[in-house]
Amino acid sequence: MVRQLHSLPGLIASLFLLVLAISGAILSIDPGLERLSIHVPSTGQVSVADLAQRVALNYPGAEQIKRTASGTVVVYYSNAGQSGADSIDPLNGKRIANHANSSFSRWVKQLHRSLLLDTPGRAVVGIAAIFMLILTLTGAVLLIRRLGGWRNLIRPLRGNLNQRLHAQAGRIVIIGLILSALTGIYMSAATFGFIYDGKQDEPDFPASVNGGQAKPPANLSALQAIDLSNLRELVYPRSGDLSDFYSLRTTQGDGYVDQATGELLSYRAHAGMRDIYDLVYLLHTGEGLWWLGLLLGVCALGVPLLSATGVQMWWQRRRDRPRITNNGQAQAADIVMLVGSENNSTWGFASVLNDALRLAGHTVHTSTMNTLLPQYRSAKHVFILTSTYGDGEAPSCANQFLTRLASLNKKTVQTTKPTFAVLGFGDRQFPQFCKFAKDVDAALLSLGWQHLMAFETIDKQSEQEFSRWGKSLSQAIGQDITLKYVPRRPATCSLELLERIDYGVEINTPTSILRFIAVPEDKRLRRFFGSNGLPNFSSGDLVGILPPNSTMPRFYSLASGSRDNVLEICVRKHADGVCSGFLHSLQPGDRIDAFISPNPNFRPVSGKAPVILIGAGTGIGPLVGFIRNNKARRPMYLYWGGRDPESDFLYEPELRGYIKDERLTQLNVTFSRVKDRAYVQDRIGDDAVQTRHLIEQGGQVLVCGGREMANSVSEKLDRILSPARLSVKELKAAGRYREDVY
């Protein structure tokens, strides 16, 4: 529901909000510029009486004095039938400069206030402010949910580029946007009389005046009692009209002053509502608090970015909406598939499974988890494919499932329940990886349902893991089911192999470091635009490579950044590996098609805290990339495990060089095919005291390699950290423990 509330107002009001945000950002500069140009008295006090006297001497035709919220004193006057306005020095009443808002500034202000449509436009602006408030509040709720609670608001962001930009911009500007929206709503409501603002409380009009000879302004007691800092406006009596009087407006109240006696003829202090309105106006415009105006302007500039990324995210979700063909009827299907997905990505896998089961002769009914029925009369199996949202919560289309399950289970008359299998989708970087899917599996078991297959998970939408799950499914139902999920193929670029360095041939584990450059002709073209021809990437990102005659990309962690002018990967050749075999067959000059998949969750967090890098085999690739780019010489400790030091000590020359130039603080290697064989987790255990101390200092851990190795490392670190009352789970929650495992 919150997601819908966040999306709908944004789509409806996006154009109006963009206009208001950009015009507001332009107007926010004015208070700052005005503040730079004003002259503020540096010593003593200036009374309104003194100011009025000085103005009268310098401007015989003075009609009005105004003091703006920013402190500028402006005199409006007539001279030889011509009207003018000057900003003046209040210490001497002399002209500083002509005071006139530019036509552009006036146009922008009218655009911001009413969209150039007068009263109807003001109504639209007020409604747009309401939409802005809804967007900011629901956005805050979604961000807090995504990060797992308000305490995690400053933790590193995860997701694709649009998601990260949207969330990062949101948490930077959200306070400013809420303030602008609330104050804008208030001012709009006051304009249309929905809120009493106190501006109607004018002082009583004088019934009579003294009518005597006018005194010089400096001698008027009522004006002498008011300091310049409290002045808003002083209107002079009409020249030669002894029955007229001064009109005075101050921060405390308004009144009329007799020009002969200097006494207040009438006065009315501002009501509390008037003070509230003035405060709201100041907070909305920044007039009087120029620094606030600039901050609000910066926040307003976040709206175009939020709008652009928000629309792209909405379109992505819309594009990925479920497209289930030939969906069977719920009560006629022998297989029921229920799906939970927040961003629709899980539906792509569900569609593949649906089609594969139909081809095998099954009638399949596929729907969202919230549509769970009391019974499925013909169903033999129920498959549940679901992601987890935020801090272990259900996706929006599955948030009623557990409640419905508990309720419907009591009402159902179905004596034989279908067997079930739950497949969770998520990202192991999140501390609550697939928690909702685990909760669903446990709930079904507790209510007496029986497993068809044990609970399984898919990490980072891995098509390889999904394919392996399909093989297990084939065994479970006794039919050959092939699950081949092919994500939408991104645009690829052509790369040419520049260099290869081979290891491990002697021990029958061929491993190569491959370095690619942009194809020369493309490189020349792109250099015209100022790049080296390579797409933008960093160490730790992934490169997707499409081997010949294959539609399924394989992903490899990058050991370089685009600024290194090469794309570098470390690849071990597997016996039946289609892509690894293809890559190992390449010779310098050969070409591949590839694309970049950002992986911002796997890289050191900026700062000076120590970094512990842990890997085995080809997992050393991105770790070397991090070390290579450690030009600030922050403490980095590498733990790596190989097989044979004589054959597959990957990157040995480079690592020795990094020790010498202090980009690498400590190198710890171990090998499993030597007399005193050991594994990387054993080497970490040897340095338990040092490791615990580094983490207590705020250090972070990055692990790259096989899942089995990563699990062993996690268990070892939990034991090492136990005396410090820390755990890997806590480090993950704080963004200080990151994995890239396969």
Q: What is the CATH number of the domain that holds 715?
A: 3.40.50.80
Question: Is 308 in the same domain as 335?
Answer: no
Question: Is 332 in the same domain as 311?
Answer: no
Amino acid identity, position 116: L
Question: Is 510 in the same domain as 446?
Answer: no
Q: Which residue has the higher pLDDT, 438 or 3?
A: 438
What pLDDT does 531 receive?
A: 54
Answer whether residue 667 shows pLDDT above 70.
Answer: yes
The rounded distance, in Å, linking the Cα atoms of 596 and 534 is: 10
Question: Is 357 in the same domain as 452?
Answer: yes
Answer whether residue 320 shows pLDDT above 70.
Answer: no
What pLDDT does 530 receive?
A: 39
Question: Is 564 in the same domain as 593?
Answer: yes
What pLDDT does 413 receive?
A: 45
In a domain, residue 279? The reply is no
What pLDDT does 142 receive?
A: 77
Longest dimension (CA), the chain: 116
Question: Is 362 in the same domain as 224?
Answer: no
Question: Is 86 in the same domain as 210?
Answer: yes
Last residue of a domain, one of 568, 597, 626: 597
Decide if 344 contacts 396 (C-beta within 8 A). no
Question: Is 539 in the same domain as 663?
Answer: no
Torsion angle of alpha carbons 692, 694, 696, 699, nearest 10°? -120
Answer whether residue 563 shows pLDDT above 50.
Answer: yes
Of the spans 146-160, 411-425, 683-697, 728-742, which averages the highest pLDDT? 683-697
Q: Which two tokens stand for residue 36?
A: 């730079």
The rounded distance, in Å, linking the Cα atoms of 179 and 300 is: 11
Percent of the chain with pLDDT over 90: 49
The domain that contains 419 carries what CATH number?
Answer: 3.40.50.360
Distances in Å between the alpha carbon of 301 and those of 32, 128, 170, 451, 527? 17, 16, 11, 53, 31
pTM greater than 0.75: no
In a domain, residue 605? The reply is no
Answer whether residue 216 shows pLDDT above 90.
Answer: yes
The domain that contains 560 carries what CATH number?
Answer: 2.40.30.10
Answer whether residue 681 shows pLDDT above 60.
Answer: yes
Answer whether residue 322 shows pLDDT above 70.
Answer: no
The torsion region of residue 339 among left (phi > 0), alpha (psi -120 to 50) and beta comes to: beta
**Which residue's entry shows tokens 């009374």?**
47
Q: Tell me the pLDDT band of 533, cut-offs 50, 70 and 90.
A: confident
Q: Tell me the pLDDT band of 670, cut-offs 50, 70 and 90.
A: very high
In a domain, residue 284? The reply is no
In a domain, residue 604? The reply is no
Amino acid identity, position 350: A
Least confident window among 19-33, 166-180, 632-646: 19-33
What pLDDT does 475 receive?
A: 93
* Segment 420-456, tens digit of pLDDT: 999 999 877 667 889 999 999 999 999 989 999 999 9
Least confident window among 40-54, 171-185, 257-271, 384-398: 40-54
Decide if 302 contacts 173 (C-beta within 8 A). yes
Question: Is 159 in the same domain as 55?
Answer: no
Last residue of a domain, one of 446, 477, 508: 477
What pLDDT does 666 receive?
A: 96
What pLDDT does 14 receive?
A: 74
What pLDDT does 43 receive?
A: 43
Last residue of a domain, one of 426, 447, 477: 477
* Segment 592-606, tens digit of pLDDT: 999 888 887 788 988
Answer whether residue 636 shows pLDDT above 80.
Answer: yes
Domain encompassing residue 176: 2-32+105-183+291-315
Q: Rounded mean pLDDT of 687-709?
A: 94
Q: Rounded mean pLDDT of 502-511?
A: 85
What pLDDT does 33 receive?
A: 76
B/e letters for 91-114, b = 16+ CB within 10 Å, e = fewer, are: bebeebeebeeeeeeeebbebbbb
Of the spans 13-27, 141-155, 551-565, which averages the highest pLDDT? 551-565
Q: Tell me the pLDDT band of 528, cut-offs 50, 70 and 90.
A: very low
Answer whether residue 524 shows pLDDT above 70.
Answer: no
Q: Rounded mean pLDDT of 547-569?
A: 88
Q: Rounded mean pLDDT of 548-559?
A: 84
Question: Is 438 in the same domain as 333?
Answer: yes
Count of the separate structural domains present in the chain:
5
Question: Is 574 in the same domain as 625?
Answer: no
In a domain, residue 563? The reply is yes
What pLDDT does 40 receive?
A: 56
Amino acid identity, position 477: I
Q: Which two tokens stand for residue 408?
A: 């419907």
In a domain, residue 251? The reply is yes
What pLDDT does 696 receive?
A: 94
In a domain, residue 460? The reply is yes
Distances in Å between the alpha carbon of 601 and those of 201, 357, 719? 59, 35, 25
Task: Fill in the DSSP letter of residue 227.
Answer: B
Answer whether residue 386 shows pLDDT above 90.
Answer: yes
Question: Is 346 in the same domain as 462?
Answer: yes
Q: Rounded mean pLDDT of 296-313?
A: 86
Q: Rounded mean pLDDT of 269-295?
A: 87
What pLDDT does 476 receive?
A: 94
Q: Which two tokens stand for residue 409?
A: 């289970």
In a domain, residue 196? The reply is no
